[in-house]
Structure 1
Amino acid sequence: MAAEIRIVEEAKKPLGMNPKKFALWIFMVSVTMIFAAWTSAYLVRRADGNWAVFELPQLFWITSVIIVISSGTMHWAYLAAKRDNLEQTKLAISITTLLGVAFLIGQFMAWNELVRESVYFVGNPSGSFVYVISGVHGLHIVGGVVFLLIVLVAAFRYKVHSKKLSQIEMCATYWHFLDGLWLYLFVFLLLNR
């Protein structure tokens, strides 16, 4: 008798993603498209002329440093949760939240600096763009701070640990996205005044 050869096809693991993570990625792509449209509109409008040139607020430099540090503390929170170090997780999320609030306060103070320089929301479009771009980014930071607070409450309820990382992963992804987005916008504004 000839040996019977059987070919068995292994079941393939379906490509999939947590629906909440997928929704977050769709949201971040949408936000990216909005800011890409605004930066494109900025360049087109600047080329039309009647464009006031002014120095960006010095506080934008400080808030940029704050947001980079907050990205580090967010990563620290994620790594601590992955190692089940819940005290460090709570501390790192708390620090990230405070840095997010400090960023928002700094941005508001930067707007005051713009007003002192006679750059207003209504008036020359160059000022309007700075207010809109930094303001809408600030609104997203507010959403990020709310997300951080939700994760912080979950951490205090022992719902953030190595076996349950999806919530802090999503929060970290969104926070890093907002950090990177601000750095892009700040560099864009610096190079295109």
Structure 2
Amino acid sequence: MEQRKRIHPHKFTLWVGIASIIMMFAGFTSAYIVKRNQPNWVSFDLPKVFWYSTAVMVLSSVTIWQALKAFKQRAMLNYRRLVMVTFFLGVLFVVLQIIGFNELYQKGITLQGNVSFSFLFIIVGLHALHVLGGIIVLLILFLKAFSSSVRNYNTVPIELASTYWHFVDFLWVYLLIFLILIR
């Protein structure tokens, strides 16, 4: 008898969650496209710091991928270092986003200013919430990596964190390209 390869229940749940998030952002970006045809729509340029935050996010995807690889090789010192770097890159991404929104605010682009501004704040703000969730998971992984009481080499938690982190990275790149092309 041939045994089917099963997906871990937590991985399945993560993929269902990712599908839900994709649907939510698909709805918001679709609404953005529809609303941008209204006469009161205001186009604006995104701050350059968003490009820097994108580079940071892509780099963090590389470090989480390397962390997973190190964990699978049981190179715990390297794993700890890479999870810590990924965590700090995630925090840096959020800080750069805050700087970018502060720059927009200084130009008069506020949540209440125009529907186009509101869409930007909602779409990017929701992404930031998902990144913050990932940062919390990275912090937990980091703390567990230094815990002397836990010596479990189960790869599922780091695989889940890595998959989610790659997802929020890809989502940000998509959103940035979308916001640049569809203004």
* Category of TM-score, reference length = shorter chain: over 0.9
> What is the CA RMSD across the aligned residues, in angstroms?
1.3
Letter aligned with residue 57 of structure 1:
P
Taking the aligned partners of 1:15 and 1:31, their CA distance within structure 2 comes to 26
Superposition map of 1:85-164 within 5 A: 85-157=75-147, 159=150, 163-164=153-154
Q: Which has the larger radius of gyration?
A: 1
Alignment match, 2:47: 57
CA drift of 1:154 comes to: 2.1
4+ residue runs over 2 A deviation? 157-161
- In structure 2, C-alpha distance between the alignment counterparts of 1:16 and 1:85, rounded to whole Å: 27
Q: Secondary structure at the match of 1:47?
A: coil
Q: Which amino acid in the other structure matches residue 19 of structure 2?
A: V
Deviation readout 1:124-182 (Å, 9 max, x if unpaired)? 11111111111110000000001111111222236577x42111000000000000000
Q: Structure 1 stretches of 5 or more lacking a match?
A: 1-10
TM-score of the pair, normalised by structure 2: 0.95
Q: Which residue of 2 aligns with 1:7?
A: none
168-177 or 152-161, larger mean C-alpha shift: 152-161
Structure 2: distance between partners of 1:93 and 1:180: 19
1:50 to partner: Cα distance = 1.1
**TM-score with structure 1 length normalisation?**
0.90
Number of residue-to-residue matches in the alignment: 182
How far did 1:59 drift?
1.1
Consecutive unaligned residues of structure 2, counting only runs of 5 or more, are none
Which letter does structure 2 place at the counterpart of 1:94?
Answer: M
SS of the residue 1:78 aligns to: helix
